[in-house]
Structure 1
């Protein structure tokens, strides 16, 4: 398996909401099970409310999808100023990601990285080596959180913890593209590719063997909305770089320099960087939809390109105030989960809108009808 780091949501992702009373969810078995919960606050009431928020978010997802195997979550609710030395307005409010990604051969013959939570649902025998939990969630206990159970209106810089957890859980369950600028930030490279994988050369431990650019499970369904062309076709072309997987490089810098001067960089990776900054250029086409018009529009309007926000969210302008608000990259101040559900027309499925349901069903979890 390959461990892939994802970025935290910053306080730009200001959020808050839940669709029903807390207790409405508590009678079901939670399929997103918290296996470890660390809270460093001396405020036991805050720790209790935070844990409850994670339980509620898990139960909302449990009500929407069938998980044959429970999804295990490791939660840290800690003061980022102390643990990460990131304080004040600079501090992110939190995030969640898959604890491990596993390379799986897809039905189109392409190897893609799948989040462990989804791979477990396939009940493979023998199964690949799994991490002890499926999703790692890290949230900042020093952020200003709002809890519905307090019975007070949201105010100031408060964010509804349940809404942000819910959003982040979906990233941990596979709502995440691997198309990114994976090169070192010091370089002036401005191009996108899926994650380049390497392994050490057993003959010469100082050199790297390139194993190819690897898409995520999510990337299989990305299309160019103008033509309907599948983005995976671009990655097939990218993987001709340097003769393809198996190529050897002295180090990562040597790889980057050669990539920068390659046909693949100039004809595919650079245009993808432009696509990622062209509004409404990319879409996710669910497995049961056939025409490009049915694609869910992804976030490609941000200039400059924003790692973690671009591509791996739905288009803000299109889905603001709709039933599919949840996976926008940003939520307005003073919004709550209940308020967003109401603004979106009180969809019967609560905060998990019909398009998000179709995306997740495409990736693996079966819908509860």
Structure 2
């Protein structure tokens, strides 16, 4: 395949609203020694990209300013340390930026092959949430079969992936969501219980559901005043994992319950982690999760697919909060 010198990409010159997301011409990147160049078929849309567009979440050092942290597509060129037989392979990849473009580079170690069970749209919607949920729920919180987990934002991309992985590995799943319709959707996707946090006290409901025991793991993307309430939901030896702070990065922690119940408070961010860590996670996923993907037992929940030049509408959809599952940008040959 002949790779062009230029491409279209979503690379806003200044922060702003969704209207700044217009395709512009950029140079096609050249893969480094351990990278591949991918002709992008589709790119997942994630909340950190909305924050980056607004100027609230700059890309890590060395990352492209072009938006987008996950993609699917065909490898069309490789760096010197990557086997040439990878050219022509269809993969999805986690990247630190650059996915909203016709071509993007990705570290070879962060690529996973796309099985027949997945469409390219579905494959593009997998990496960011899969890496995030796996590292936080199953590594940092060491969830295991039979554990109870409380997931806030149950119909978000992260939430729906947590439901999918939780079912795959025999967790009991409680989620919160902001409407009865979203609670119904979460149960349809596979949550055992769904709590409308606008009409119900989730702390009380968690205790009712678990017979007063509490949950083993809380996956929290809310932060702020939710943290103290989350700790009330935890059973003895429970693990609280923070992955975002939508209600604020400061929280008052009641220490007596932490000590009395021997709780663990942890958390992580993914984007700024180095290639070595992400390659290790990709290897773990290839061994432990990807066989289930190949068998069609784990797929992302797709909310809506937008054409690449409708990136502004995709961000508006995410900001509305009405989505259930992942929003995806799809490339078209007519661009």
- Common fold, TM-score beyond 0.5? no
Which of 1 and 2 has higher RCO (CA within 8 Å, sep 6+)? Answer: 1
Q: Which has the higher strand share?
A: 2
